Chain A
Amino acid sequence: MVENHRAPIVQHLLIYKSGAMDEPFNKGGVAHLLEHLMFRGTQKVPDSTYNDIMNKNGAESNAFTSRDITAYHQLVDITRLELVMALEADRMQNLNFSEKAFEKERRIIFEERMQRVSNNPTARFAEELNKIFWKNHPYAHPITGTEEEIKNLTAEDVYAFYRTHYTPNNAVLVLAGDLDEPTAKILAHKYYGGLVRAPGSSKTEFLSNSTGEKSTFEISEHMQEIAAPRLIKQYLVPSLHEDPKIAYALMIWASYLGEGDTAYLNRELVRTNKMASVGASYDALSRGGSVFGITALPFNNTDAKKANELLDKTLEKAYKSFNPKVLEKEKSKMLSGLVYVRDNPQETAMLVGSMAALGMSAEDMENYAQNIQAVDFKTMQEAWEKLQNSAQKGVGLLLVGEKS
């Protein structure tokens, strides 16, 4: 719960700590299909009445499914908070969609996959790379499910996933906006307190280096419709809940290497006209292992084939040039904009909610700045070692035109 009294509005966010990674074998897409069907009726609020109520009450209502979680959110006038809580609690336990709605929604998620992935060359490539990178891990599987899987999903598959995962003891509730803590407590108790808890969901637990074996790969692919090549470099690294100390250091490495105009790779490679762009990222919040990634846009195929070598050399230089003074500067860059997190209740809720859903405590969230400040130079070196000795490294190269 985060207070923000700017306007009489509130963001209501309910996160289930289950997502695509919890799907049974061959049932890819079921978490996502369920998310859609949650808008298709309960015993008390049948068919699409939920959407009608949201519309009549001026709500900005939506939901999404990720690998790790499924989230339902509504931005509403504060006078509608109890209404959305009642509806959310109702659909947590009383889902009841018609066979017809099931068929329509299954077609819709098929169209969604066509729109987002199949018709999008970069998304297709990312999916292929992901599959190779994660091998037997559930992350290897697309969140949308494959086309084949979508076609074979049944209503019973959806209800099975629903019964297993949609319970109050597997959910996180966030309220951000114009109310105080006592009121939030009363309301949470009133609407969610009486719900039946399930005996603990059978959740998938995966650690990133489950095999322990080191492997590296390099793949390249040509695509006709691509106009500029891409290079994606990925390292398997610990996530925030697996190794907080290393995780905070990796956040700093990502920022130093590839976030913003002064980032090292940008200065060395883009401002000197060697590449069109280069960025680094680290998805620390993850249940099943994290990726430290570098994405580059070389100018043409010839450059692209030498890009990985160039990147490696530059990374080596980056490491050598890094020192305690640079570290302190990087920390203040990362923390200078912290105040913005409190501005928009939608963003505040999403940040707090995903951290809580992925095992962070309230303290971890409050102490974010301190945890970044506490990273010393030695830890930075350790994190770099982890990166270099990552159990799984992969390079994907997407090239322009037909293979010659």
Chain B
Amino acid sequence: MRKSKFKHRKPRGRFIKYILILFCLAAGLALWKAQTFKPEKFVKNSIIQEKTFAQVPKAIQTNGLTAWLLEDHTVPIISVHFLFQNAGYAYDPKGKEGRAVLTAEMLTLGAGTNDRTAFQELLEQNGIGLSFSAEQDDFSGALTTPTANKETAFQLLKDVLTSPKLSNTDIKVVKTQINIARNRQKEHPEGELSLKFLEVLYGNHPYARNPLGKEKDVKNLTQKDLQAFIKDALAQDNLIVGVAGDITAEETAKMLQDVFGVLPNVSKQEPIAAPAISFHLPPAHIERAATQTSVRFAAHGVERTDKDFYPLYIANHIFGGSGLTSRLSLSARENEGLTYGIGTYLSTNKNAPLILGSFSATPENYDKAIKILRSEWKKFAKNGATEQELENACDYLLASYHLRFSSVEGMADMLVVMQKYNLGLDFLQNRNTKIKNVRIEDVNRAAATYFQTLPLEVSIGRTEE
């Protein structure tokens, strides 16, 4: 029966089959054509094609002072970013912890002939932004002004560097504010974790300090302490200046001389020794009522000028870099939905280069996610990355190159960073070649070296019922 039926229908069946196959092929082709989205096609056929854009910074020098400049007249504003090395909060003398932070807050509260109100009104009425901050290593400042008001802006900054008011009334007010801010640090579990993470990582080293100083020390600081800091720490030999925006080389040279020429030549700040970090410590945990457990982790990294920098930079992008496509983000977030965000980044501080990372999750998901982190970490050390991952990472780093020029403040900042890490005036021209030259062996060597042992973990949250 079956056989005959088959036989009987064979010719027609073959015909129908033939038609069907043809039809399916045609439909499939049409569907395939409609469904395949080819990103490269849109880039290749873009009506706006690649433009030559080669912004090269100039080094402006005058009487021993240097500023790097990116001249750009698109918008009539100027940004001057600067920092004093070895003048950050970790360099405060013992017993005066909080001195750099208090000074940073006080510097914009009156200078020269202007009291606090007059000084602040000049800033506000002229659209001038001026701020200072004390970081771990550096004491930095940022001045931004509309071109039309640049003379006022430069004069005000010069006044700050030569004759800040530092009134006792304001010192008292700012001390209270710093105290309240310090008390509030631990309101949020993440805030408490940040402080604990510094302590575990850096132990007795000054990097472990609370960025807002010690309550007792701040209380005892006097106007004289702040004056001494300004005189000793803010000098020409530890100064880095980056200038971007609507200003010429000549104007920059003049500003540099007028504003920063008043500083003493030599700073009295002593460099501090590198901390000895024990990455092999067992995970540390703070027990606290919280809806999520949060973690910070750290492993040994590389200095900015190290030969391994670019390989590790790319390795980090693949492992935990920005966006949602890194290995960590794919495995813990996209594929499992365990956390809102997970990632890693490099810190290239020459005293303590690190690979740093963090995430937070509800307790049950946290246990799964931390296991994923550890297993991905080990897997990366053992197997490294794939050629495809390297290609994707390079494409990202090359295609995003121009985005660094989106604001003059960002550009001024970049110039400061370039000088701080000795990247050279030609960094911008060479950066893409350096990325392209990284090969898979380099990435895998970096992965094997820097991901060899699991990172140090510090967490906070509720683990006990």
* Interface residues of A, Cβ cutoff 8 Å to B: 4-9, 39, 43-45, 48-49, 51-61, 75-83, 86-87, 90, 103-112, 114-115, 118-122, 178-179, 183, 186-187, 225-228, 260-262, 267, 270-271, 273, 276-277, 297, 299, 329, 332-333, 336-340, 342-347
Contacts and interface: CB of A to CB of B under 8 A. Distances in A.
Contacts of A55: 323, 325, 392, 395-396
A273 B176 CA distance: 8
Given A51-B323, A58-B396, A82 B46 contact: yes
Given A60-B403, A336-B127, A79 B43 contact: yes
B385 to A, nearest CB: 14
B337 A118 contact: no
B180 A299 contact: yes
Given A48-B324, A51-B325, A80-B399, A56 B39 contact: yes
Contacts of A106: 337
Nearest to B336: A104
A120 B188 contact: yes
B23 interface: no
A108 B333 contact: yes
A183 B146 CA distance: 30
Contacts of B334: 48, 51, 104
A119 to B, nearest CB: 5
26 contacts: A6-B406, A7-B55, A8-B53, A56-B395, A57-B396, A58-B397, A61-B323, A75-B403, A76-B399, A76-B403, A82-B42, A83-B39, A104-B337, A111-B339, A111-B360, A114-B291, A183-B48, A228-B180, A260-B120, A271-B170, A277-B177, A333-B124, A336-B146, A339-B77, A340-B77, A346-B406
A178 to B, nearest CB: 8
Contacts of B125: 329, 332-333, 336
B35 A58 contact: no
A107 B339 CA distance: 8
A181 to B, nearest CB: 13
A58 B398 contact: yes
A291 B61 CA distance: 52
B399 A339 contact: no
Given A58-B398, A260-B124, A340-B77, A276 B177 contact: yes
A120 B192 CA distance: 12
B50 interface: yes
Given A56-B39, A58-B403, A336-B124, A121 B53 contact: no
Contact of A81 (B46, B74, B76): B46
A352 B349 CA distance: 39
Interface of B: 34-37, 39, 42-43, 45-51, 53, 55, 72, 74-77, 108-109, 116-117, 120-121, 124-127, 129, 144, 146, 149, 169-170, 172-173, 176-177, 180, 183-184, 186-190, 290-292, 294, 323-325, 330, 333-341, 360-362, 365, 392, 395-403, 405-410
A299 B333 CA distance: 41
A54 B399 CA distance: 10
A271 B126 contact: no
Contacts of B324: 39, 48, 51
Contact of A53 (B39, B116, B121, B124): B39
A86 B42 CA distance: 8
Contact of B36 (A44, A82, A346): A44
A178 B403 CA distance: 12
- Among B74, B392, B403, max chain A CB count under 10 A is at B403
A187 B48 CA distance: 10
A93 to B, nearest CB: 14
A57 B39 contact: yes
B173 A270 contact: yes
A337 B51 contact: no
A112 B88 CA distance: 34
B362 A114 contact: yes
Contacts of B186: 225, 227
Contacts of A178: 48, 51
A89 to B, nearest CB: 11
- A-B pairs, top 10 by smallest CB distance, nearest first, are A58-B399, A58-B400, A107-B337, A336-B127, A104-B337, A7-B405, A337-B127, A227-B183, A344-B407, A83-B42
Given A56-B39, A118-B291, 5 more contacts: A107-B337, A107-B338, A114-B292, A187-B47, A336-B125
A262 B121 contact: yes
Contacts of A77: 399-403
A94 to B, nearest CB: 10
A271 B116 contact: yes
A329 B292 CA distance: 48
A45 B180 CA distance: 51
Contact of A60 (B34, B290, B400): B400
Contacts of B72: 6
Given A115-B292, A227-B183, A299-B180, A90 B37 contact: yes
A79 B407 CA distance: 19
Contacts of A54: 323, 325
- Among B126, B400, B409, B410, max chain A CB count under 10 A is at B400
Contacts of B360: 111, 114-115, 119
A57 B172 contact: no
Contacts of B339: 108, 111
A187 B45 CA distance: 12
Nearest to B361: A111
Contacts of B47: 82, 183, 186-187
Contacts of B400: 58-60, 77
A261 B120 contact: yes
Contact of B338 (A103, A111, A186, A226): A111
